[in-house]
Amino acid sequence: MSASFDVIVAGAGPGGIAAATIAAEAGLHVCLLDDNAKPGGQIWRGFGADSARKYPHSHAYLEWSRRLERTACEVWSGWQAIDRLEASTLRLERDGEVQDLRFHKLILATGARERFLPFPGWTLPGVMGVGGLQALVKSGLEARGKRVVVAGTGPLLLAVAAGLAHAGAKIEGIYEQVDFSRLMKFGLSLAKHPEKLMEGACYRGKTLGAPYRTGCWVTRASGSDKFESVTITDGRKEWTHTCDWLACGFHLVPNLELPHLLGCRVANGFVVVNRLQQSSMQDIACAGELTGIGGLEKALLEGEVAGWMAAVRKDRATMLTKRVDRLRKFARQMEQTFALRDELRTLSRPETLVCRCEGVAHGALKECGSWREAKLLARCGMGACQGRVCGAAAEYLYGWQTAGTRPPVFPAAVSTVAAQSDVPEPIHT
Amino acid sequence: MTEAFTITVNGRPLLVTENVSVAAAMMMANEPCRRSVKGDARAPFCGMGICMECRATVNGVPHCRTCQVFCSPAMEVVTE
């Protein structure tokens, strides 16, 4: 099966929704595709017309989802892009069904995932990502009465802890690995009174019934067949929380598989785009976390810019670039602020798994000199997740370059990979 | 109000609603999703379709990412 569109938007989070909406409102034939069951991405996961009101960001969600619904944009949910057949055709799969989509212009808004780091016990059931636990709770997981430690780094920690507390969980502790002084410096760049900002964060922690402590990190999780306790350190002493869940994540990294596959230039971990969101590849724009982890506002604005550019309305796109500049600067500051401390490299024991899929331990990687060697000799990153989890960890732990993607960019049926293409002639607009 | 219905997780009934992902249901049933290559129990981890830890067999289809699938009446979910 195949179809053609003026614009394909890959990723139906805020950036993709904004881009698709603007392009469709301009009269273009637009396809918005996402592998999730519903549009919204991670930040708007589980939102609906009735349930959205109880979440923050619900106003933006309601506004954009209503705008999108009023357009003729085709929303393809549950579809996974797995390969590119030629310069302007994507191959998608859903439940064994194959579709080849030709595009005139492509907007990538594939968002970000959490960066995970290995530590003893991180594979135990009950240890999850910070955004991971939030996503599960938004997907119906009952949190009432659960005792939870939230740890790692990034602005997600407080937001997720607040969400969990709201859902009835008992927050046992919130542990940010960044030192207080660096967070203060970050606050300084945001507000006239950074100490108020930090007080606010600490106060917010207290109102959640748990301290928000900086300069602390997880050293290990324990349990026999499931998670039972977590040990935390501030670098001097250690203490342990016995609880139900550990949510641990280390800020976010962009989902670069599609940009890599399509040949977009990547530098310093993000897709290189100009002020109008255009990538190094002609007719491919990128928006949102792909260009720098900046959150909802940046994703929406960059999506709008990409949408206007697809509609050949540079005048409208240019009106937004100053605000985009400011948010990109903010993204860079966040990246520096939440940089990982060196101690996190020393958490793994020889038997601690780095690659969860293939069961490759830290000790087995010591003799490898590169990501390629780790793949060939130890099968690290060769399992079902294709290195999506251990790749970012290996970059940090061993200093390896793990960039580069080979099709299929997601596990797919052999019949999908081998399917004949019946792509129609290019469309002209 | 969404109506509750029953699914089975490893043969045991569990009451859920349609807005519950299969991954969340398996956690609430205290069942692991899969066994690792070394035989250890694994359960949902990333929650967003990336890590593949929540793969399980749903209505006879193996390797479903259960965090991306929502429960429906009479669904049969089995640990892999």
How far does the CA of residue A222 sit from the closest CA of chain B (Å)? 14
**Do residues B44 and B33 touch, judged by C-beta distance below 8 A?**
yes
In this prediction, residues A73-82 reach a mean pLDDT of 96
Helix or strand or coil: residue A82?
Answer: strand
How far is A58 from A217, CA to CA, in rounded Å? Answer: 32
**Whether residue A8 has pLDDT greater than 70:** yes
What pLDDT is attached to residue A49?
62
Query: B78 touching A, CB under 8 A?
Result: no
What pLDDT is attached to residue A207?
64
Q: Do A139 and B69 touch (CB under 8 A)?
A: no
Of B43, B52, B67, the CB nearest to A139: B67
Q: Tell me the β-bridge partners of A252.
A: A114
Kindly list the residues of chain A whose beta carbon comes within 8 Å of any beta carbon in chain B. Answer: 35-37, 42, 45-46, 51, 78, 95, 113-114, 116, 123, 125-129, 131-137, 139-142, 225-226, 255, 356-359, 383-385, 388-389, 411
**Helices (H), ranges, A276-429:** 296-310, 314-318, 321-337, 362-365, 371-378, 390-398, 414-418
What pLDDT is attached to residue A392?
95
Among the listed ranges A19-33, A102-116, A195-209, A329-343, which one has the minimum average pLDDT value? A195-209
- In chain A, where are the structural domains located? 2-113+253-334, 116-250, 348-398
Which pair of structure tokens corresponds to residue B40? 């250890």
Mean confidence (pLDDT) of chain A: 92
Summarised one tens digit per residue, pLDDT across range A119-144 is 999 999 999 999 999 999 999 999 99
pTM confidence score: 0.93
- In chain B, where are the structural domains located? 5-78
Q: Do B51 and A133 touch (CB under 8 A)?
A: no
Of A134, A140, A357, the CB nearest to B19: A140
How far does the CA of residue B27 sit from the closest CA of chain A (Å)? 8
**Do residues A384 and B52 touch, judged by C-beta distance below 8 A?**
yes
Secondary element (H or E) of residue A33: strand A30-34
What pLDDT is attached to residue A195?
58
Mean confidence (pLDDT) of chain B: 95
How far is A124 from B44, CA to CA, in rounded Å? Answer: 10
Which pair of structure tokens corresponds to residue A184? 């203060």
B46: chain A residues, CB-CB within 8 Å: 113-114, 116, 128-129, 131-132, 135, 389
Res. A189 pLDDT band, cuts 50 70 90: low
A127: chain B residues, CB-CB within 8 Å: 45
Which pair of structure tokens corresponds to residue A204? 């917010």
Q: Do A141 and B50 touch (CB under 8 A)?
A: no
Chain B, nearest residue to A257 by Cα: B50
In this prediction, residues A411-428 reach a mean pLDDT of 76
Q: Do B38 and A139 touch (CB under 8 A)?
A: no
% helix / strand / coil in chain B, to the nearest 5?
10, 35, 50
Higher local confidence (pLDDT), A426 or A420: A420
Q: Do B42 and A356 touch (CB under 8 A)?
A: yes
Fold of A116-250: FAD/NAD(P)-binding domain (3.50.50)
What pLDDT is attached to residue A100?
96
**Do residues A118 and A129 touch, judged by C-beta distance below 8 A?**
no
- Domain A2-113+253-334 shares a fold with domain A116-250: yes
Higher local confidence (pLDDT), A373 or A46: A373
CATH class of B5-78: alpha beta
In this prediction, residues A214-223 reach a mean pLDDT of 97
**Do residues A167 and A178 touch, judged by C-beta distance below 8 A?**
no
Cβ atoms within 10 A of the Cβ of A52, count?
A: 18
Share of chain A above pLDDT 70, in %: 92
Summarised one tens digit per residue, pLDDT across range A102-116 is 999 999 999 999 999
Q: Do B17 and A140 touch (CB under 8 A)?
A: yes
**Whether residue A382 has pLDDT greater than 90:** yes
**Whether residue A290 has pLDDT greater than 90:** yes
What pLDDT is attached to residue A46?
82
Q: Do B36 and A135 touch (CB under 8 A)?
A: no
What pLDDT is attached to residue A210?
80
Q: Do B44 and A136 touch (CB under 8 A)?
A: yes
**Helices (H), ranges, A114-247:** 130-138, 156-166, 180-190, 194-207
**Whether residue A152 has pLDDT greater than 80:** yes
What pLDDT is attached to residue A54?
63
How far does the CA of residue B9 sit from the closest CA of chain A (Å)? 15
Among the listed ranges A200-214, A307-321, B31-45, which one has the minimum average pLDDT value? A200-214
What pLDDT is attached to residue A32?
98
Q: Which CATH architecture has domain A2-113+253-334?
A: 3-Layer(bba) Sandwich (3.50)
What pLDDT is attached to residue B2?
74
What pLDDT is attached to residue A327?
93
A42: chain B residues, CB-CB within 8 Å: 48
Helix or strand or coil: residue A51?
Answer: coil
Summarised one tens digit per residue, pLDDT across range B18-74 is 899 999 999 999 999 999 999 999 999 999 999 999 999 999 999 999 999 999 999
Q: Do B52 and A384 touch (CB under 8 A)?
A: yes
Higher local confidence (pLDDT), A48 or A365: A365
**Whether residue A224 has pLDDT greater than 80:** yes
Which pair of structure tokens corresponds to residue A171? 């927050």
Res. A205 pLDDT band, cuts 50 70 90: low
What pLDDT is attached to residue A52?
55
Secondary element (H or E) of residue B13: strand B12-16
Q: Give, as one character, the DSSP assignment of residue A8.
A: E
**Do residues A230 and A222 touch, judged by C-beta distance below 8 A?**
yes
